[in-house]
Copies of this chain bind each other. A is one copy, B any other.
């Protein structure tokens, strides 16, 4: 592994492939040991090339969060894609074209969308019902058995719509204050999903796959017995948010934004870099009861990518293009105008989405959607 940081002139997203492969391998093995389908969410990396790395571990089914991503990955050969976002009926023409060429699994949570699909779909698709197990974002509340049974009945009477099962996203795990709290959320999710399935099967004779997916839960839990499928996404890169949750160690974080140093302000012990909200996103994190921050800082190394998180140092504020690093004394003193500093992002999905490509060892650039 050799990173040629001399070639980096402006904000650049650096990716450590070894870490990515380790992250994929770890999650893949956990899924295999629990005998559940590993259907990773590709919204985090949005890259055909990184997608291909998953294939080498035997992954053949994936999750995406937009039709554009589904089309992109279908083009690069993925044949079984779940679009884990409530169906947008305005996109019916593109849905029809895609359903003709791959196994497309869609998500519904209301009767209007189901009736619309039944009327306008040309090719059969599989449908998951989104079940809300506590996040309160989308989905039918797990206890609302009447609504769930009603939707499944409509699906059963349709020629084109095949009911697959229940899909949930326990994203409230991101509010978990400890790994114990995240484990409890996972356990509760499982109980709720299974209860919903049991109630459904009391009334209708139907198979029902259970699909779960948040990265904190999937990282902290080792045994996925009781569900059929896991859909984590962020784990491929992790980030400072996951680190704070205890879902990863700092050695698992696989991307860092390379930022040129453009100014130093001794009176405030601040370093100004080119690297702002259009690179990192404005996702922030409150840390140790202190002010929120926008990322943590590392030194690059040509051999290993980057080192440990630098003490007493964080990205204090972001403008469109500026990042203001509140620096520890040692970092401040040794940093020079024109140096590169690395920023571990708070939220790798949003940072990757903004940057649009990855800089790898050997000078290779990986493209994205």
Contact = CB atoms under 8 A, between A and B. Distances in A.
Interface of A: 8-10, 43, 65-68, 85-91, 93-94, 109-110, 112-113, 116, 136-138, 141, 171, 260, 262-265, 267-268, 272, 274, 277-278, 281-283, 317, 319-322, 324, 336-338, 340, 349-350, 353-354
A174 to B, nearest CB: 10
Contact of A260 (B88, B93, B317): B88
A85 B94 CA distance: 42
Given A88-B9, A283-B282, A268 B136 contact: yes
A344 B148 CA distance: 35
Given A10-B67, A85-B274, 14 more contacts: A9-B94, A43-B321, A65-B321, A88-B262, A88-B274, A89-B337, A89-B338, A112-B336, A113-B262, A116-B337, A136-B268, A138-B272, A282-B282, A320-B353
Given A10-B67, A322-B85, A90 B338 contact: yes
A86 to B, nearest CB: 4
Nearest to A258: B90
Nearest to A324: B137
Given A109-B263, A136-B268, A278 B88 contact: no
> What 3 pairs between A and B have smallest CB-CB spacing?
A86-B262, A112-B337, A89-B338
Nearest to A68: B10
A73 B166 CA distance: 50
A264 B68 contact: no
A320 B337 contact: no
What is the oligomeric copy number? 2
A3 B54 CA distance: 43
Contacts of A67: 10
Contacts of A336: 112
B278 A350 contact: yes
A214 to B, nearest CB: 11
A65 B349 contact: no
Contacts of A321: 43, 65-66, 85
A282 B112 CA distance: 30
Contacts of A85: 262, 274, 321-322
Contacts of A43: 320-321
A336 B116 CA distance: 12
Given A65-B320, A137-B272, A277-B281, A90 B350 contact: no
A89 to B, nearest CB: 4
Contacts of A137: 272, 317, 319, 322, 324
11 contacts: A10-B88, A43-B320, A65-B321, A89-B337, A90-B260, A112-B337, A116-B337, A136-B268, A138-B262, A138-B322, A281-B281
Contacts of A89: 260, 337-338
B91 A353 contact: no
Contact of A91 (B9, B141, B263, B319): B9
Contacts of A353: 278, 320
Given A137-B322, A282-B283, A263 B90 contact: no
Contacts of A278: 350, 353
A101 to B, nearest CB: 19
B350 A116 contact: no
Contacts of A322: 85, 137-138
Nearest to A281: B282
Nearest to A132: B265
B91 A320 contact: no
